[in-house]
Amino acid sequence: MNQKQYVLAIDSGTTSTRAVLFDHGCQIVGIAQQEGTLFYPYPGWVEQDAEEVWDLTVKVIHEVLAKCDVKPSQVAAIGISNQRETSVIWDKKTGKPIYHALVWQSKQTTDVCRSWASYNDMVHKKTGLRVDPYFSASKISWLLDHVEGARQRAENGDLLFGTIDTWLVWKLSGGKTHITDVSNASRTLLYNIHACQWDDELLKTFNIPAMLLPEVKATSEVYTMTDPDLLDGRSIPIGAVVGDQQAALFGQGCFVEGMVKNTFGTGGFMLMNTGQDIVDSKSGLLSTIAWKLGDRLYYALEGSIFVSGSTMKWLRDQLGLYESTKITEQWANDVEDTAGVYFVPAFVGLGAPYWNDTCKAEISGLTLGANKKHIVRAALESMAYQSKDVLDAMVKDSGIPIKNLKVDGGASANNFLLQFLSDLLRCEVERYKIQELTSLGAAFLAGMAVDYWHIEDFIIESDRVFVPKAPQEQMDAYYAGWQRAVRRCMQE
């Protein structure tokens, strides 16, 4: 190599799109980020404009390269991490989406899923998942039935489906490549994680044409090259696509069976690497594919929390309690406790381990002595409580005690949250110096595909380890109060 080489990660999230450039030492060279638009046409519906997602992707790629004075020829590979279940269908000739992308959080397919309830056992056995609006299959069905002429066009072979990774690869390749990887395929409710293929019985049951679906690839391999018109005539290998939570698991260095990470993003996602074995959850968790390297498939146990960090955004944007979420750590420490206030952030129902899509968010225990700082502290504590709900189920299912939990995501910068989490879980909570661990995971997987990196090159430096300090009896009492609040929320 005559010039220094880098790997570019594209992290296409729910609320923003990032491009992150890494050097060979796994260090961040530069970041570009653009916020996107979410649409809420009806209560519980969440949508995105897939064209905007693409436009933002192009912008951040150009922005980070210009900011770092890096030429396209210096980019060894591109890796993509993405919000997983968000679904888009587009015309393969015009490249135009037939409707907005339906976001993973959206509940507009609740009625579809209720009509599929009798298939839940079959779905769980084949996919490790459960019938729920969260996953892609009901979103595909909804789009085909609610967009005029869509089902006929799909059966004619004129339409393509993809999660956001598939959409971006198709666009980046100039419409030449329609693929996804096993981690994203395993989130559609259509992919058999035992046989490792689209499941004909599920496709027939849900009346979804197979020709809509992308080809499923390994998580780390060169799928295609970027369209030369995109980057000054230079074509760059696309070497990885991976669901954002699996990317974070990889980026946290959770390569060994039994290692666990928790991401505090828009939602909260806890994953345990279960190696090459599928752990069948009896406690409301999901069995899913972590990644595929070569011909080796790795699995994970997952607890999905629908609303986590977005609670703090709601308090800022909808209630106007503060201008910046940075103040929340100080406010939480300003009060001794929540004064009995509990915040159950079931804005779109509750995910694992409850799976209740009908309950609504509640703030309970309010008295005249409660103020905005108590409410903010209760909101932060809710992230920890939901994490304990999932971790307890994970330990029960796997039989593996957890001594260390690795964390990332925007809210992991909040020291109050992480100390409370450590106190509650009675284990170490470890945060790393690099916060962009989802991007690092996608980048490293792409770099491996072009021999830029090998697994022994992986470097990650710890920032701080939180250890339990508060009395366990006190934390047990707090958690018992949370469990009562959740039960009240689900009973209404």
Extract the annotated binding site for sn-glycerol 3-phosphate. Answer: 14, 84-85, 134, 244
Instruction: Report how far residue 88's alpha carbon sits from residue 52's, in angstroms, rounded to the nearest whole number.
Output: 12
Sign of CA dihedral 215, 218, 223, 226: positive
DSSP summary character for residue 36: -
Nearest Cα to Cα of residue 438 among 463, 416, 414, 406 = 406
- State the binding site for glycerol: 84-85, 134, 244-245
Q: How far is CA 442 from CA 67, 371, 473, in A?
A: 21, 42, 41
User: Residue positions in the annotated binding site for ATP?
Assistant: 14-16, 266, 309, 410
d(CA 173, CA 188): 23
- Give the count of beta carbons closer than 10 Å to the beta carbon of residue 204: 10
Phi (first) and psi of residue 376, to 5 degrees: -65, -45
Contact 37, 56 (CB under 8 A): no
Measured CA to CA, the distance from residue 227 to residue 217 in angstroms comes to: 20
C-alpha–C-alpha distance, residues 347 and 136, integer Å: 20
Residue 60, CA distances (Å) to 14, 18, 105, 162 in order: 15, 6, 24, 21
Residues in the annotated binding site for ADP:
14, 18, 266, 309, 410, 414
Which of these, 423, 405, 406, lies nearest to 337 by C-alpha position? Answer: 423
Going by the annotation, the residues of the binding site are: 14-16, 18, 84-85, 134, 244-245, 266, 309, 410, 414
Beta carbons of 223 and 241 less than 8 angstroms apart: yes
Tokens 């096993």 map to which residue? Answer: 182
Q: In terms of DSSP bridges, do strands 220-225 and 215-217 run parallel, antiparallel, or are they unpaired?
A: unpaired
Whole-angstrom distance, CA of residue 302 vs CA of residue 390: 8
CA 291 → CA 75, 83, 288, distances in Å? 23, 15, 9
